[in-house]
Amino acid sequence: MSLIVAKFGGTSVASPERIKNVAKRLVRMRQEGHRVVAVVSAMGKTTDELVGLANAINANPPARELDRLLSTGEQVSMTLLAMAIEALGYKAMSFTGRQAGIETDGTHSKAKIVKVDNERIEQALEQGAIPVIAGFQGIDKNGDITTLGRGGSDTTAVAVAWGIKADVCEIYSDVEGVYTCDPRVVPRAKKLDQISYDDMLELASAGSGVLQSRAVEFARKWNVVIHSRSAFSDAEGTYIKEEPDMEEAVITGIAHDTSEVKVTIRGVPDSTGVAARVFSSLAGSMVSVDMIIQNISLDGHTDISFTCPAADLPRAKEVLGSVVPEINAREYVVDEDIAKVSLVGTGMKSSPGVAAKAFTTLGENQINILAISTSPIRLSVVVDAAQVTQAVRCLHTAFGLDSESVFEEKQLSAEEIAAKMMKGR
């Protein structure tokens, strides 16, 4: 008999009928002899709707009150799921983040878990109940409700799994697992049977969107096995765990991210401390800088470029509006029509020539590289947004990741991906 933590995302509990289906799945696990704990996200687009309500009242809602409001979404779905389980003749008990013992720091909207006390969850299991926990939320030392940021229910599930020493943390969503690439963009993407923590963390950070990167980081630190699978089928998904006895593939997968922008500061004096002044100011305003590129100095001046999330651009512009004159730079310009493409694989560490093959492939397909960033297990390039589909597909083929079967969902064109990117902003 296994102890399973099963987390269900917003699409899995988006309607009463889907909540009933989740309840049936949990009951079936119990009937098969497993002990199970459920973690749920808010129903469908509830979180977005709550944010819209808050903004309709106050364009800059207080962080404490916003967290309190957003936490109600998961509390609705946890209660309804508990009711659905009871309707099937099985005992269930719902718990908020506070009741589940999820203690966080005091950073509203992106709190970090600092302590997990699962005593009440274990008591419920001993009583034969199926505990249902509200994801995405916790409580700080002052007793205030906090939220963990987008995708935070994944982190809740992993933390609970660690706290109760579960055998596996199953993350249910509307996809069947982790693919070598987004199958809507690359129809011949392959579903992976398993993937290492390091590779999954890099793919999540690079924009794959299957799992929250913080959840993977937590799982890696505490060796929690994650099973990413579909809420709408019984098919095996992808296991995220260590793979000490397996030979790593050179490239595990390819991710792309259309949510970043590129900023270039032109005519920067090439002198000591200038870069530090720029990036310390950006950091002070909570601008997350990704890639940094500095050109060769010419006549005592250079250009510095960096990428950052589009959501951080307003803060970046505010900083640069004052910093650029201070450092006697000429101007700054913003390119919003970019995309980042990342090749990820632990095998890259022992396989020379990956970068050369990637650059050659992109060059043969007339795709211009705007920026490059490397690590031992990741190679990222920035390209024009209009070329992201072509870039991902040709690299996927070049590194032998194509499957013989074709994913059936609608294939997105470059124009559709660009439109999706603009809509997200």
Residue 296, domain CATH: 3.30.70.260
Is the same domain home to 85 and 160? yes
Q: How far is CA 316 from CA 76, 284, 323, 371, 414, in A?
A: 37, 10, 10, 19, 28
Residue 102 inside a domain? The answer is yes
pLDDT at 212 (0 to 100)? 86
Is the same domain home to 14 and 91? yes
Domain that holds residue 165: 3-174
Could you count the other beta carbons within 10 Å of the beta carbon of residue 321? 10
* Domain's final residue, options 153, 174, 195: 174
Assess contact for 316 and 283: CB atoms under 8 A. Answer: no
CATH of the domain at 385: 3.30.2130.10
How confident is the model over 246-284, as pLDDT tens digits? 556 789 999 999 999 999 999 999 899 999 999 999 999
Categorize the per-residue pLDDT at 424 as very low, low, confident or very high, splitting at 50, 70 and 90. very low
Q: How far is CA 358 from CA 94, 388, 393, in A?
A: 50, 14, 12
Q: Bridge partners of 301?
A: 269, 298
Is the same domain home to 295 and 386? no
Is the same domain home to 293 and 163? no
Question: b/e per residue, 239-265, with b = 16+ CB within 10 A?
Answer: bbbebeeeebbbbbbbbbbbebbbbbb
Residue 403 inside a domain? The answer is yes
Categorize the per-residue pLDDT at 420 as very low, low, confident or very high, splitting at 50, 70 and 90. very low
Tokens representing 99 are 């009741």
Is the same domain home to 377 and 407? yes
Residue 421 has pLDDT above 90, yes or no: no
Is the same domain home to 393 and 349? yes
Q: Residue 269 burial (CB < 10 Å; 0-12/13-18/19+)?
A: middle
Is the same domain home to 164 and 278? no
Is the same domain home to 156 and 24? yes
How confident is the model over 158-215, as pLDDT tens digits? 999 999 999 999 999 988 999 999 988 999 999 999 999 999 999 988 888 788 889 9
Assess contact for 207 and 256: CB atoms under 8 A. Answer: yes
pLDDT at 150 (0 to 100)? 84
Residue 197 inside a domain? The answer is no
> In terms of DSSP bridges, do strands 338-344 and 378-384 run parallel, antiparallel, or are they unpaired?
antiparallel
* Dihedral Cα 284, 290, 296, 298, nearest 10 deg: -40
Residue 213 inside a domain? The answer is no
How confident is the model over 199-244, as pLDDT tens digits? 999 998 888 878 888 999 999 999 999 999 999 999 999 999 987 5
Assess contact for 195 and 136: CB atoms under 8 A. Answer: no
* Domain's final residue, options 280, 309, 329: 329
How confident is the model over 325-358, as pLDDT tens digits? 999 999 999 999 999 999 999 888 888 899 999 9
* Domain's final residue, options 279, 295, 329: 329
Tokens representing 241 are 């765990």
Q: What is the pTM of this model?
A: 0.85
Helices (H), 366-413: 388-398
Spatial distance between the Cα atoms of 296 and 301, rounded to a whole number of angstroms = 9
Tokens representing 275 are 């870069």
Spatial distance between the Cα atoms of 26 and 78, rounded to a whole number of angstroms = 13
Residue 182 inside a domain? The answer is no
Residue 202 inside a domain? The answer is no
Spatial distance between the Cα atoms of 153 and 367, rounded to a whole number of angstroms = 38
Is the same domain home to 26 and 108? yes
CATH of the domain at 68: 3.40.1160.10
Is the same domain home to 269 and 405? no
Spatial distance between the Cα atoms of 50 and 356, rounded to a whole number of angstroms = 48
Is the same domain home to 286 and 159? no
Residue 200 inside a domain? The answer is no
User: Mean of the per-residue pLDDT values for the chain?
Assistant: 92
Spatial distance between the Cα atoms of 113 and 360, rounded to a whole number of angstroms = 44
Is the same domain home to 51 and 127? yes
How much of the chain, in percent, has pLDDT values that exceed 70? 94
Assess contact for 135 and 161: CB atoms under 8 A. Answer: no
Residue 219 inside a domain? The answer is no
Total number of domains in the chain? 3
Break the chain down into helix, strand, coil percent, rounded to 5. 40, 25, 35
